[in-house]
């Protein structure tokens, strides 16, 4: 089942998909643009993976000193980075190359520590779509993302739905796509993850406790391109959802 959280009429509501948009828990049916889309669940720690697709690693190979044999590249993100479906992401005026990253995001459903691979998938509550923007200008180096790149306010779009894990038969066979202003710019598939979901849970739970609500962003395939103010970016994953976002200027945020 798909779940969402939205604001409407001065209140926060749980919602589910409807052919006309979405249905609130009280039965009212609304269009997507009639509500404010919130994060689809209460998010705990956010853990992101970089360079977890072989094609994306190859895409950046001239800039890297990392290889597919290295351990997963993981980093944390602060809560201020997260915004919901149809939200606005700020593009700083001094940025020359800012790009989207369509990612499958998995949600942890129970406390997990030192998880064995055979038990890893039982820790997953569900999945959602993430668009985790990066500004290449801000990288201190091209193989270890730093705070300025990955912890900027509004840089990580999440939603619109949380899809129960039981409704995703094989999370390692999902097509990912990104459109910029209606033009298809990125295509990939989760079957090409270098570190699959069980491997990530085993690795992370080996040195930190994962709790209910923690979010793991699994990385993006190749095909990232620069986006500019005014661009509409749509990231989509089969069976999970279609996430819409708009890139805006510093002035929109009064900066």
Q: What is the pLDDT of residues 188-218, one digit of tens each?
A: 999 999 999 999 999 999 999 999 999 999 9
SS3 at position 33: helix
Residue 251: strand, helix, or coil: helix
Pure H helices in 49-110: 54-59
Q: Give domain limits for the chain.
A: 1-38, 41-253
**Is 2.30.30.370 the CATH classification of the domain at 1-38?**
yes
- C-alpha distances in Å from residue 183, one per residue of 109, 178, 220, 233, 248: 36, 8, 18, 9, 19
Round the CA-based radius of gyration of the chain to a whole number and report it: 18
Q: Is the pLDDT of residue 146 over 80?
A: no
| CATH level 3 topology of 41-253 | Fumarylacetoacetate hydrolase; domain 2 (3.90.850)
User: Against a cut of 0.85, is the pTM above it?
Assistant: yes
pLDDT > 70 in the chain, percent: 91
- Statement: residue 242 has pLDDT above 70: yes
Residue pointed to by tokens 């990530």? 200
The contacts of residue 122 (CB under 8 Å, 6+ apart) are 110
The size of the chain, in residues, is 255
């Amino acid at each position: 089942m798909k779940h969402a959280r939205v604001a409407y009429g001065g209140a926060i509501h749980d919602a589910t998909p409807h052919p006309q948009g979405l249905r609130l828990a009280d039965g009212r049916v609304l269009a997507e643009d009639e509500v404010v889309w919130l994060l689809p669940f209460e998010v705990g720690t956010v853990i992101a993976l970089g360079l977890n697709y072989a094609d994306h690693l190859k895409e950046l190979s001239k800039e890297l000193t990392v290889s597919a044999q290295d351990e997963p590249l993981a980093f944390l993100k602060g809560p201020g980075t997260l915004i919901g479906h149809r939200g606005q992401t700020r593009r700083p005026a001094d940025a020359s190359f800012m790009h989207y990253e369509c990612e499958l995001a998995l949600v942890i459903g129970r406390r997990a520590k030192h998880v064995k691979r055979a038990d890893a998938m039982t820790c997953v509550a569900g999945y959602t779509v993430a668009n985790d923007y990066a500004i290449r200008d801000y990288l201190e180096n091209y193989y270890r993302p730093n705070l300025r790149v990955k912890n900027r306010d509004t840089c990580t779009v999440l939603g619109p739905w949380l899809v129960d894990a039981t409704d995703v038969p094989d999370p390692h066979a999902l097509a990912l796509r990104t459109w910029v202003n209606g033009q298809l710019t990125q295509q990939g598939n989760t079957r090409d993850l270098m570190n699959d979901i069980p491997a990530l849970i085993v690795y992370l739970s080996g040195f930190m406790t994962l709790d209910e609500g923690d979010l793991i962003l699994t990385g993006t395939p190749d095909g990232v391109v620069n986006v500019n103010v005014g661009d509409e970016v749509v990231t989509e994953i089969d069976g999970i959802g279609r996430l819409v976002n708009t890139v805006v200027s510093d002035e929109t945020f009064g900066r």
